[in-house]
Amino acid sequence: MQTILQTRRRLERDVELDAKLAREASDLGAMMELALEGENMLQELNLEVERLEKEIQQTEIRTLLSGPQDVSNAIVTIHPGAGGTESQDWAEMLMRMYLRWAERSEYATEVLDYQQGEEAGLKSATFLVKGDYAYGNLSAEIGVHRLVRISPFDAAARRHTSFASVFVYPEIDDKIEVQIEEKDLRIDTYRSSGAGGQHVNVTDSAVRITHIPTGIVVSCQNERSQIRNRDMARKILRARLYDLELEKKRKELQAVEDSKLDIAWGSQIRSYVLHPYRMVKDHRTKLETSNTDRVLDGAIDDFIYQYLVHREKSRKRGAGTKVAG
């Protein structure tokens, strides 16, 4: 029943959005007529066009997100690559970028697990992004991200290259059955080691679950209650196992492209260059911008949009090849 109500609310919002875009397009037409008649409205008109273009892009993104789990919440995990403090700092920069993007997009977020780096940054982090199409959007970010900059941790001020990997999983609805046998689990508890404040706990409330058959390890330490941490860790494990099964099916069907394209270490999906010039470039779509500060502050919608368009075109080309064959 709850799923039906959620679907109904999404459909109602889509209908409202369609009516809203129609009204705004009509208002824009009226503004253009006034401008042609000599009214000084050029600045206001440009702002309205820019805003409407953004809304249209967001609407188009929804049409590109047709996968069974695209509408789901997203579970995001970030791991630094080799390189110690430098890569750990880069991983934390990525986490901030995604949290800022979520805030800009009016998504709610919840940090589920955070392992602090020894000197700076993070060793691993998992957080939940809650809202319609969070997973569909963030699936565009799965892969290896590369940073080139003058290291703030190098006394000689040398240029360093760092890597961090981003994994995104849909939060699985309880109605989707994922078989987990208790005998296949090893559950460990330990003391939380958050960044400070309310996340630090003096009891062994943090939970780590190892799924022995697959080797998947998940952990949660955000909640003060061990029971709640255990429940959330199980939820993350279900999402990981569901994603693993989907990946097996994709490989069996020899899909042209899937949501983990170019995830192999060393084949980065995007480069962020801060020295000797400033550039963010997506290696899949070739989209690039010199406004690195804005991107690192969460303005990644254009990269997400271009990737989703690129993925859809690849799927259509693949479907055409199969038909032709």
pLDDT on residue 260: 42
Q: Determine the average pLDDT of the residues in 289-300.
A: 98
CATH number attached to the domain at 74-174+257-324? 3.30.70.1660
- Which tops the pLDDT comparison, 271 or 322? 271
| CA 133-138-144 angle, 5° bins | 165
pLDDT of residue 58: 75
For residues 290-310, average pLDDT: 96
Provide the pLDDT for residue 161: 93
Angle at 99 (CA atoms; ends 123, 209), nearest 5 degrees: 45
* Pairing label, strands 122-130, 216-220: unpaired
Question: Could you give the count of Cα atoms lying within 13 Å of 89 in the half-sphere of its Cβ?
Answer: 17
Give residue-wise pLDDT tens across range 130-172.
999 999 999 999 999 999 999 999 888 899 999 999 999 999 8
Q: Give the model confidence (pLDDT) of 203-223 as tens digits.
A: 778 999 999 999 999 999 988
Is the pTM for the entire model greater than 0.75? no
pLDDT at 201 over 60: no
In the numeric block, the tokens 């550039």 are attached to 279
Residue 324 confidence (pLDDT): 47
DSSP 8-class letter at 198:
G
Of the listed ranges 147-156, 225-234, 260-269, the least confidently predicted one is: 260-269
Q: Which residue ranges make up each domain of the chain?
A: 2-64, 74-174+257-324, 182-228+235-252
Task: Please list the residues that pair with 10 across neighbouring strands.
Answer: none
Q: Write down the CATH number for the domain with range 182-228+235-252.
A: 3.30.160.20
Q: Which of 38-42, 102-106, 244-248 has the lowest mean pLDDT?
A: 38-42
What is the token pair recorded at 235? 């939820």
Q: Torsions phi, psi of 318, nearest 5? A: -65, -40
CA angle 209, 212, 214 (to 5 degrees): 105
Q: How much of the chain exceeds pLDDT 70, in percent?
A: 85
Q: Are 90 and 80 in contact (CB under 8 A)?
A: yes
Find the helix packing angle between 301-324 and 42-64, rounded to 10°: 40
Residue 8 pLDDT greater than 80, yes or no: no
Mean pLDDT across the chain, nearest whole number? 84
Position 41 confidence tier, pLDDT thresholds 50, 70, 90: confident
